[in-house]
A and B are shown apart, each in its own frame.
Chain A
Amino acid sequence: MGVILLYLIPIMAGIPLIGAILIFLNHNAKTRGYTIYATVVAMMISALALMITWIQDGSNTWYLYTQTEWMDKAMQAFEILLMVFIVYMCFKYKRRWISLLAILQTGLTLWVEYTIPLVESTHTQVDSLALLMCIICAFIGGLIGIYSVGYMKSYHENHKGVLDRSSTFLALIFVFMSAMFGLVLSSNLIWMYFFWEITSVISFLLIGYTKTEEAITNSFRALWMNLFGGFGFAVAIWLCAMWNHSVQLNEIVASANPMIIGMLALAGLTKSAQLPFSTWLFGAMVAPTPSSALLHSATMVKAGVYLLIRLAPALNGSLCGTIVSFIGGFTFIMTSLMAIAQNDAKKVLAFSTISNLGLIVACAGIGVEQTVWAAIFLMIFHSSSKSMLFEAVGATENSIGSRDIENMHGLILRLPKLAYVMGIGIAGMYLAPFGMLISKWVALKAFVDSGNVLLVICIAFGSASTMFYWTKWLGKLIAMHKPRVPDRDVTRKDEYFSMAVLCAITISLCLLFPLLAGYVVNPIVLSLFGATTDVLSMSELTTMVIMVCSVLIVPAMMFLVTRMAPRDIVPTYMNGINVGDNSHFTDSFGQSKKLHLSNWYLRFEFGRRRLLKPSQILAASVLIVTFAVLLGGVLS
């Protein structure tokens, strides 16, 4: 057992890495596809193997790898390489000041490692939360990997102007997953920081894939924001080493030094794109869809909230915790308002991602058992529903050449399968009694119990606007409007496979809600807090499952019932005479006029132009004041 165990983690993190190298070297699209499938399967199996071994071992937290000298050296070398690469890119694209951030933080960590003696300790830890993240990353990330094989082919058929660097792109996706495994399994801040930096740099490369002016600007924005968070991380490492001579994450949580926690929370906030750092996430939508799906549903942003959830016990009741939960709640409401004004489907998804993350962050910031319970649920449901939505939007864009929600009018007749996937994803995001809404319910209950009126109000208003933007999208999809020219569905089999599996996962997660609570979420809360409370009782959970069934069954049953009803189909009322196809009417000059239907976007009221700047300024000033107070506490 012991020997296998020691190799299991390197194997798991190594598989995507080896896969990435093979993918990178292979320029034949067909064999590259098979390599990807094989890598994904191997990755899933290894993640499952790790989990099963861990459960068989008695589900105790493992602390592994004390002596890792050569690995540390390799990491340091790689960190320097990364820094040189960033500096090179910054100078190449004339954004020289960003290189400063990279040099500073890499220099700082290296200096700490060589000058400050640290107590010898372990480097990785395997516990239920880390394993959950591994499973999410391996399965959802893996499915996105499968999807990207077909997607990239269609993408380059539609975007002839973009240089085909698919093998680099696909390889980077797998390197990213490898780094993500490393990140969640690290117990040591220095290791975690290393993987943190890799995810920052890879997201930068993925966002800049198309190398258009916009892509480059946005990728550098993502880079500097994430490096800024990384800088916070580096400062936290330095402080830990200086004060405690230990950089173990659980010791930091136990000692709960406000300055260190604050710095780490800053890193978490940037990674999870909270205000004022939200702009990098919606800028990241210029990248091909698989990278958006991967970065914004299953991995990158989840790394941020993962760190915050780890910190949750230390955040509870402290100044940092209050601020983190405020920023989260504020982000939740502001970004869900801004999402109303977006007509680009990916932008809507981006805003909704940020707002859901805000909710998770708010839960983590309160840092009691119930809120963390809700946060973990939100994380699970969000990753499955959101990745599915991203995939469906990407596939639709390849087929109809646009990702504007207005152009998805009547998608249910044009591309029925994609419309169903999208519909299930959307329902999963906000409808009672699907996962996200239940999690929101739990969060609401937990906020009420913790006596935080501000967050209760945030969640009340935020879910109202969430409802608005999803419903109007759903309304567009369901319009029964036959197009003149049928659309050709260019979605490939592997894309459909990925979406179908994600659909199945989303629905079964809702059905298995009670099991999920009992076997996954409760143990995690237990391991973080040493105690766990059922926020929802078993009877409530079962009611929920019955409700999910009824939501699925009722429309289906009604479909069967109403299908029998005989009816005459008539044209719609248009005030002018309907020409007969429900899309033209005769106007007062007797000419046939085209009817245009559009959703409500309320750009003037809820547009980014109006809301983004003030909310960024508010969030930034709150952060600045907080750090001033923390710094004052340290110096006095």
Chain B
Amino acid sequence: MTRVLSLILYLILAPFVGAFLDGIDRKITARMQGRKGPPIWQPFYDLFKLFSKQMIAVNSVQLLLNCSYLIFLAVAGGMVFFGTDILMSLFILSTADMFLILAASSDSSPYSNIGASREMMQMMSYEPMTLLIAVGFYLATGSFRVDEIIAQETCAFWMMPGLFVGFILIMAIKLRKSPFDLSTSHHAHQEVVKGITTEMSGPTLAIMEIGEYYEKMLLLAVVALFFIDSSIISWILGIVLCLGVYFLEILIDNVCARVNWHKLLDICWLITLLCGGINILILMLI
């Protein structure tokens, strides 16, 4: 019953919470940059505005692919909130991302194609870490299933600190934070116009944004998964730490300059090997 409830809550609330967090993110970012920043509800205004816009498109499939992107992200997140297999959920997450890449490649626009290529590069960079994190949960708790992971006596974090560091890293990529915002950026200083979203407009773009909110909630849920165990306090701790990690991402976003793809791949794979690989090795040995 709780599982169904949490699934329904996720499906309904995730976009709202995600957008709200986005509003806070923009406010904090503005303050860090010495600006006043938009109102906290700005993401909601943006979404309404996007939905009310005229439907223009560069081709007939982009909307369909973006909708599929949204649905698969919701499915991937839903799997975590429903308490099923986390590895499968991460696989579905990649499938969802692939739909976004296809949406961007479906038009022969130079900028969105560059964005799509860079998105693929980002995917290649974070993919090993996501797999290792799922493996880490399995080794630490004996199960890939979320409902069994959160029913443990002690939280998984103590068994997998290296993987947690790695997760913060790949979360920066997934949330499109500097220094890893190669494919598209929330900041205005983009040299590839708007990258992967260049050709998306109006409702199509809004759907993509909502998808990203679902994704954000999924990622935060995985952060919480590191800390939640059978006690109630751990849930509160988990939520607090989620917000802490989110703040950390904002901080990273504002203090780093964007790296090129070479660096991105090198950093990610190196950290995956060092933090992830060694953590997994230790987990296997004990």
Contact = CB atoms under 8 A, between A and B. Distances in A.
Interface of A: 409-410, 431-433, 437, 441, 444-445, 448, 451, 453, 456-457, 459-461, 463-465, 467-468, 471-472, 474-476, 478-481, 540, 543-544, 547, 550-551, 554-555, 558-559, 561-562, 565-575, 582-583, 595, 597, 599-600
A600 B117 contact: yes
Interface string B60-72: 1101110110011
4 cross-chain pairs, A with B, having the tightest CB-CB distances, nearest first: A475-B105, A432-B91, A464-B127, A572-B109
Given A448-B139, A463-B127, A475 B88 contact: no
B123 A467 contact: yes
Contacts of A582: 58, 107-109
Contacts of A471: 98, 101-102, 120, 123
Contacts of B112: 572
Contacts of B272: 460-461
Contact of A478 (B106, B129, B281): B106
A455 B85 CA distance: 21
A545 B69 CA distance: 20
Contacts of B124: 464-465, 467-468
B110 A566 contact: no
Contacts of B125: 464
Nearest to B204: A567
Interface in B122-180: 123-125, 127-129, 131-132, 135, 138-139, 144
Contact of B277 (A453, A464, A481): A453
A421 B273 CA distance: 37
A432 B56 contact: no
18 contacts: A432-B95, A433-B91, A445-B144, A457-B277, A460-B127, A467-B98, A467-B123, A471-B123, A475-B101, A479-B105, A479-B106, A558-B71, A565-B55, A565-B63, A567-B55, A568-B54, A571-B58, A597-B113
B193 interface: yes
A464 B61 contact: no
A524 B204 CA distance: 49
A559 B88 CA distance: 25
B42 interface: no
B239 interface: no
B269 interface: yes
A463 B123 CA distance: 11
A54 to B, nearest CB: 35
Contact of A410 (B108, B138, B139): B108
Nearest to B125: A464
A540 B61 contact: no
Contact of A572 (B65, B92, B94, B107): B107
B234 interface: no
Nearest to B282: A453
Interface residues of B, number: 66
Contacts of B281: 453
Most buried by A among B64, B117, B144: B64
Contacts of B57: 567-570
A461 B121 CA distance: 13
A573 B108 contact: no
Nearest to A536: B85
Contact of A463 (B58, B75, B131, B273): B131
B91 A437 contact: yes
A33 B143 CA distance: 54
B93 to A, nearest CB: 9
Interface in B16-72: 54-61, 63-65, 67-68, 71-72
A472 B120 contact: yes
A480 B88 contact: no
- Secondary structure type dominating chain A contacts: helix
Interface of B: 54-61, 63-65, 67-68, 71-72, 75, 84-85, 87-88, 91-92, 94-95, 98-99, 101-102, 104-113, 116-117, 120-121, 123-125, 127-129, 131-132, 135, 138-139, 144, 193, 198-199, 203, 269, 272-273, 276-277, 280-281, 284
Nearest to B84: A543
B107 A480 contact: yes
B112 to A, nearest CB: 8
A530 to B, nearest CB: 26
Nearest to A572: B109
Given A479-B107, A572-B108, A453 B131 contact: no
Contacts of A567: 55-57, 60, 63
B54 A476 contact: no
A571 B128 CA distance: 38
Most buried by B among A464, A468, A574: A464
Contacts of B110: 574-575, 595, 597
A467 B127 contact: yes
A359 to B, nearest CB: 14
Nearest to A476: B105
A468 B120 contact: yes
A464 B105 contact: no
A571 B55 CA distance: 14
B108 A583 contact: yes
Contacts of B131: 444, 459-460, 463-464
A465 B121 CA distance: 9
B105 A478 contact: yes
A64 to B, nearest CB: 44
A278 B91 CA distance: 29
A540 B144 CA distance: 11
B111 A562 contact: no
A416 to B, nearest CB: 12
A453 B198 CA distance: 41
Nearest to B280: A453
A551 B99 CA distance: 11
Nearest to B283: A453
B68 A555 contact: yes
A575 B192 CA distance: 10
B135 to A, nearest CB: 5
A445 B86 CA distance: 13
Given A476-B105, A558-B63, 20 more contacts: A432-B92, A433-B88, A441-B88, A445-B138, A459-B131, A460-B132, A464-B131, A467-B94, A474-B105, A475-B105, A478-B102, A478-B106, A543-B88, A565-B63, A568-B56, A568-B57, A572-B58, A572-B107, A572-B108, A582-B58
B72 A554 contact: yes
A507 to B, nearest CB: 16
Contacts of B91: 432-433, 437, 441
Contacts of A409: 108
A161 B111 CA distance: 42
B135 A480 contact: no
A468 B117 CA distance: 9
Nearest to A570: B56
A453 B286 CA distance: 13
A441 B132 contact: no
B63 A472 contact: no
Most buried by B among A431, A558, A568, A571: A558
B109 A573 contact: yes
Nearest to B202: A567
Contacts of B87: 441, 444
A561 B60 CA distance: 12
B272 to A, nearest CB: 7
B104 to A, nearest CB: 8
Given A570-B57, A574-B109, A595-B110, A543 B85 contact: yes
